[in-house]
């Protein structure tokens, strides 16, 4: 027994990945806990398949943040800054996902990293991380409603912005209440469409830049020379970091979805591997081709009209001579908005659901119906999307910038919290006599990777708003830094009121929240889980 009173898990060749014993302990009703479709702790349904989670990790959250917001980043920093920003934040995101993969594969329990922060650090820390994660997603959700209403108003202004919002709000609410299987299947196909759309734009960019379009000259790397690779030097690069962190937000969402996944020990590592391809293909590819085909000084990037948002893709197609191409791009962005709004409501509602069940949010948000749908949490989350209506008075582009700053800073703090939680977990794992090889997923380069993620995110959280200091802009300064002091206020406030403790490594619970895959027998037979795999199986697994 460990000092904390928990039986250390020993390796057992019959049961892979450091887990021992039969598929599960038997519940009080005689049913195996891990064979239930409804999670006995959180009440949600385990309905997501491995391919659903993998596609969510790869393309699920691609939306107006990337396709439209990249225009603001390009205008602020230039094509080189955009590429640098995506690369640097991509390295940090990869680090965070390695930490998250190790934690979530072992503990695919309700609450994801917010509940794990309770167990491995301090419940007050979990409260702060949880609420900041919710801030990210209601901000992202608002931006996506902002984008989709702007597109619809661009096509027809006979319906006001608030009218389009109410119509969409009702439709998305109804869809979310259909259940997690419907959500997962829709996200799989919508994500596939998004990937195909990006591939088509990348091919167009190559043809356009090389002079393959009739009536236009090849532009090559023209926009890297005029107006140039950078806008305002390092100042522009620093500004781009906030945009890029918002674009990457969502790669960690697989931890939230793990509870509703049938086979997390197979699905989570699969999804973690997809993040590498997401960084290389989607983000770095988009940054390169946006900067190649769209000038950073294009007026419409940030001033595309009081009610319209302009994408670098739109401007590129118009510059290539196809004015009507704006409707094609807007249709593509509309599809990505549908998917991204759907994902945002899902992630935010599950976050607030698990927090309510842990006593970190109002209790009424913690219930589910008999089909495992958190109705109250979904309605509450969707209602938060009304923040997008600030574009009625400020304009879509300006509203987008305000909300991006909030979600960007929150992303840095949440990611830093994930890294710190991982460090605390490993300290407890070692202190209680466990071995690294007993982990079902081992993160790369621990502890260097985890400490890098922690340090990089703290650094970026503090420096992301330094451009507001000279010349000093009070409004932008508050927008950039208001969330920094709020984090310690939530942490110490909750700690003082509820007298929470910072756990010692020897007393941390390393047992709760573990479960087996619903299809484990099949996975063991096919070699997906443990056992020998052929070269083809290993190739497909990593692809």
Tokens standing for 38?
Answer: 């409804």
Cα–Cα distance, 418 to 422 (Å, whole number) = 6
* pLDDT per position as a tens digit, 384-424: 888 777 666 555 556 656 666 677 788 889 999 999 999 99
pTM, whole model, 2 decimals?
0.83
- What is the residue whose two structure tokens read 């699920």? 60
More confident residue, 251 or 111: 251
Give the chain's domains with CATH numbers.
56-499 (1.20.1740.10)
Tokens standing for 156?
Answer: 């027809």
Name the 3-class secondary structure at 472. Answer: strand
* pLDDT per position as a tens digit, 128-171: 999 999 988 888 888 888 888 888 888 888 888 889 999 999 99
User: Mean pLDDT in the chain?
Assistant: 81
* pLDDT per position as a tens digit, 259-276: 888 887 777 877 777 777
The whole-number pLDDT of residue 5 equals 37
The whole-number pLDDT of residue 11 equals 39
Name the 3-class secondary structure at 37. Answer: coil
**Whether 355 contacts 113, CB under 8 Å:** no
The whole-number pLDDT of residue 24 equals 37
Tokens standing for 74?
Answer: 């390009």
Give me the helices (H) in 388-482, please.
391-394, 396-431, 448-463, 474-481
* pLDDT per position as a tens digit, 527-538: 555 545 555 654
Neighbours of 149 (CB within 10 A): 27
What is 290-354 written as a DSSP string?
HHHHS-TT-GGGT-S-TT----HHHHHHHHTT-TTHHHHHHHHHHHHHHHHHHHHHHHHHHHHHH
Name the 3-class secondary structure at 532. Answer: coil
* pLDDT per position as a tens digit, 25-61: 334 343 445 557 787 778 888 888 888 887 887 777 6
Name the 3-class secondary structure at 12. Answer: strand
The whole-number pLDDT of residue 374 equals 93
Identify how many contiguous H helices and E strands the chain contains and give both numbers.
22, 0
The whole-number pLDDT of residue 309 equals 56
Tell me the mean pLDDT in the region 81-85: 91
The whole-number pLDDT of residue 14 equals 39
Q: Nearest 5°: CA angle at 240, between 403 and 464?
A: 70
Mean pLDDT is lowest, of 270-284, 414-428, 509-523, for 509-523
How much helix, strand and coil, in percent to the nearest 5, is found in the chain? 70, 0, 30
Where does the pLDDT of residue 282 fall: very low under 50, low under 70, confident under 90, or very high at 90 and above?
Answer: confident
**Whether 468 contacts 477, CB under 8 Å:** yes
């Amino acid at each position: 027994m460990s000092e904390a009173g928990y039986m250390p898990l020993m390796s057992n060749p019959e049961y892979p990945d450091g887990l021992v014993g039969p598929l599960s302990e038997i519940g009080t009703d005689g049913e195996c806990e891990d064979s239930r479709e409804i999670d006995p702790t959180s009440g949600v349904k385990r309905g997501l398949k491995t391919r659903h989670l993998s596609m969510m990790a790869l393309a699920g959250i691609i939306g107006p943040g990337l396709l439209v917001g990249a225009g603001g980043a390009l205008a602020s920093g230039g094509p080189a800054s955009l590429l640098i920003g995506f690369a640097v934040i991509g390295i940090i995101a990869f680090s965070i996902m390695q930490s998250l993969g190790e934690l979530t594969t072992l503990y695919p329990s309700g609450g994801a990293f917010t509940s794990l922060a309770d167990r491995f650090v301090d419940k007050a820390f979990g409260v702060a991380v949880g609420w900041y994660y919710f801030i990210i997603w209601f901000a992202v959700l608002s931006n996506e409603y902002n984008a989709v209403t702007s597109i619809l108003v661009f096509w027809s202004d006979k319906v006001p912005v608030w009218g389009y919002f109410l119509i969409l709000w009702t439709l998305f609410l109804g869809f979310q209440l259909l259940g997690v299987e419907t959500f997962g299947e829709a996200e799989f196909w919508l994500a596939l469409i998004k990937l195909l759309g990006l591939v088509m734009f990348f091919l167009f960019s190559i043809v356009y830049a090389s002079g393959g379009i009739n009536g236009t000259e090849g532009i090559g790397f023209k926009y890297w020379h005029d107006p140039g690779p950078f806008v305002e030097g390092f100042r522009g690069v620093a500004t781009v970091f906030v945009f890029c962190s918002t674009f990457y937000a969502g790669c960690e969402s697989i931890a939230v979805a793990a509870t509703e996944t049938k086979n997390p020990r197979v699905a989570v590592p699969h999804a973690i591997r997809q993040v590498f391809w997401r960084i290389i293909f989607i983000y770095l590819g988009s940054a390169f081709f946006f900067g190649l085909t769209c000038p950073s000084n294009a007026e419409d990037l940030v001033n595309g009209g009081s009610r319209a948002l302009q994408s670098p893709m739109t401007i590129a197609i118009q510059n290539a001579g196809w004015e009507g191409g704006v409707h094609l791009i807007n249709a593509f962005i509309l599809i990505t908005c549908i998917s991204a709004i759907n994902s945002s409501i899902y992630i935010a509602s599950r976050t607030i659901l698990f927090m309510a069940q842990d006593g970190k949010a109002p209790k009424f948000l913690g219930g589910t119906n008999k089909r495992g749908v958190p109705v109250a949490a979904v309605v509450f989350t969707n209602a938060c999307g009304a923040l997008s209506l600030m574009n009625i008075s400020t304009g879509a582009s300006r509203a987008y910038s305000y909300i991006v700053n909030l979600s960007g800073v929150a992303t840095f703090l949440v990611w830093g919290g994930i890294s710190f939680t991982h460090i605390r977990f490993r300290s407890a794992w070692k202190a209680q006599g466990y071995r690294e090889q007993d982990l079902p997923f081992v993160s790369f380069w621990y502890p260097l990777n985890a400490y890098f993620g922690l340090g990089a995110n703290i650094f970026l959280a503090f420096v992301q708003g330094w451009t507001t200091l000279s010349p000093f802009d009070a409004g932008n300064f508050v927008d950039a830094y208001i969330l920094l002091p709020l984090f310690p206020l939530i942490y110490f406030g909750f700690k003082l009121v509820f007298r929470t403790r910072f756990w010692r490594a020897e007393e941390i619970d390393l047992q709760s929240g573990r479960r087996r895959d619903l299809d484990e027998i099949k996975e063991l037979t096919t070699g997906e889980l443990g056992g020998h795999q052929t070269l083809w199986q290993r190739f497909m697994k990593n692809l």
